[in-house]
């Protein structure tokens, strides 16, 4: 191993002090260096603090907007699927439609529960207090409820009206049935993976730059392709089954909502937040 490896962005020394570079070239090297994990952490920490300080009406309105927007994931995936033949590769193409709602939500800076579980938790990991824990739970609860209400509307309108073509509604029913096809434990395990993927996406976005839309599309498409449920996007799918008479409200809660909520939260907090926070904990303490 040599000594030519450039340090993370924001650090001094290393490759930036190379005798082979003049001052202009050193600045160019620093500008092109990847953002270090400490910088990413502080960006997410700032986002989390902003969420914790938002008023309840602000959280609710942003959460309602996100719930409406993410419904386009359900609609777009079903619409694409309805135009594809019955082939082994069809789910791959249809899964790209799932990313549409997430693109709208994330690029539009709307409040989505699975992102909020990570960003709102980061300040609490650095400063553990009862007051901050209460603020975190307040944000989680407000965003979750605000997100879910519009998805129930999506499911009801899609199932009980003729707003969309029959072929699209048939594809919606297939998605709904696949969402509630597993046991409580199986759904929890799949939801944990989905929460982890979304949590990792949140961690990647601060350094993504112009590739941010690509990262969103890639990882949310992966969530759909793997069949891992998302508590908000999947709620429209699951409630479609209830509203169309193909599932009961008990199915909605015990075959989808509860195991998915627990799994997404565990994946986004324990696996994504804690595992990404732990490696830089000592650096954070040293800088205090």
State how far the Cα of 170 lies from the Cα of 180, in Å rounded to an integer. Answer: 16
With tokens 């909520």, the residue in question is: 261
- From the first residue on, what is the mean pLDDT of each consecutive set of 10 residues in the chain (288 residues)? 44 54 64 74 88 95 98 98 96 97 97 91 85 94 98 98 97 97 97 94 90 97 98 98 97 98 91 68 62
Give CA–CA dist 105/116, Å, rounded: 12
- Tally of domains within the chain: 2
Regarding whether 143 and 255 lie in a shared domain, the answer is yes
**Cα distance between residue 145 and residue 247, in whole Å:** 22
Could you tell me if 219 and 184 lie in one domain?
A: yes
Same-domain check for residues 71 and 10: no
Say yes or no: 54 and 92 in one domain.
yes
- Same structural domain for residues 119 and 226? yes
Closest CA to 49 of 132, 154, 171, 157: 132
Query: Which residues span the domain enclosing 13?
Result: 1-34
Q: Measured between alpha carbons, how far is 47 from 181 in angstroms, rounded to an integer?
A: 36
Contact present, 51 and 116 (Cβ < 8 Å): yes
Bridge partners for 9 per DSSP:
35
Give how far Cα 121 sits from Cα of 131, 146, 192, 265, Å. 13, 19, 17, 11
Q: Are residues 125 and 25 in the same domain?
A: no
Q: Based on the domain organization, do 28 and 94 belong to the same domain?
A: no
Q: How far apart are CA 170 and CA 144, in angstroms?
A: 28
| 68 and 9, same domain (yes or no) | no
Q: Looking at the structure, do residues 77 and 105 belong to the same domain, yes or no?
A: yes
pLDDT of residue 260: 98
Q: CA-to-CA distance for 111 and 183, rounded, in angstroms?
A: 29
16 with 63, same domain: the answer is: no
Long-range contact list for 16-21, CB < 8 A, 24+ apart?
Answer: none
The pLDDT of residue 127:
82
Examine the domain organization and report whether 14 and 73 are in the same domain: no
How many angstroms separate the Cα of 266 from the Cα of each of 193, 194, 273?
Answer: 9, 10, 10
| Residue 248 belongs to domain with CATH number | 1.20.1080.10
Q: Tell the residue number behind the tokens 């690509």, with chain if given.
A: 214
């Amino acid at each position: 191993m040599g000594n030519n490896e450039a340090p993370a962005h924001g650090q001094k020394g290393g490759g930036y002090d190379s005798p082979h570079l003049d001052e202009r070239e050193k600045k160019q090297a620093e500008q092109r260096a990847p953002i270090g994990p400490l910088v990413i952490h502080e960006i997410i920490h700032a986002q989390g603090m902003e969420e914790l300080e938002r008023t309840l009406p602000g959280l609710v309105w942003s959460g309602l907007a996100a719930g409406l927007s993410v419904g386009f994931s359900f609609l777009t995936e079903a619409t694409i699927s309805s135009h594809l033949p019955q082939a082994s590769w069809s789910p791959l193409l249809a899964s790209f439609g799932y990313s549409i709602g997430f693109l709208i939500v994330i690029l539009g800076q709307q409040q989505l529960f699975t992102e909020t579980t990570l960003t709102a938790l980061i300040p609490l990991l650095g400063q553990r207090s009862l007051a901050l824990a209460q603020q975190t739970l307040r944000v989680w609860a407000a965003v979750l409820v605000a997100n879910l209400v519009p998805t129930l509307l999506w499911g009801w309108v899609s199932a009980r009206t003729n707003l969309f073509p029959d072929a699209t509604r048939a594809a919606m029913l297939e998605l709904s049935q696949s969402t509630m096809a597993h046991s409580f434990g199986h759904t929890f395990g799949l939801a944990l993976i989905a929460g982890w993927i979304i949590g990792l996406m949140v961690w990647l976005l601060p350094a993504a730059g112009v590739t941010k839309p690509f990262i969103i599309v890639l990882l949310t498409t992966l969530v759909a392709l793997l069949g891992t449920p998302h508590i908000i996007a999947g709620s429209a799918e699951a409630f479609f089954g209830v509203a169309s008479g193909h599932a009961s409200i008990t199915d909605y809660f015990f075959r989808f909502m509860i195991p998915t909520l627990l799994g997404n939260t565990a994946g986004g907090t324990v696996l994504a937040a804690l595992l990404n926070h732990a490696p830089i904990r000592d650096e954070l303490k040293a800088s205090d």
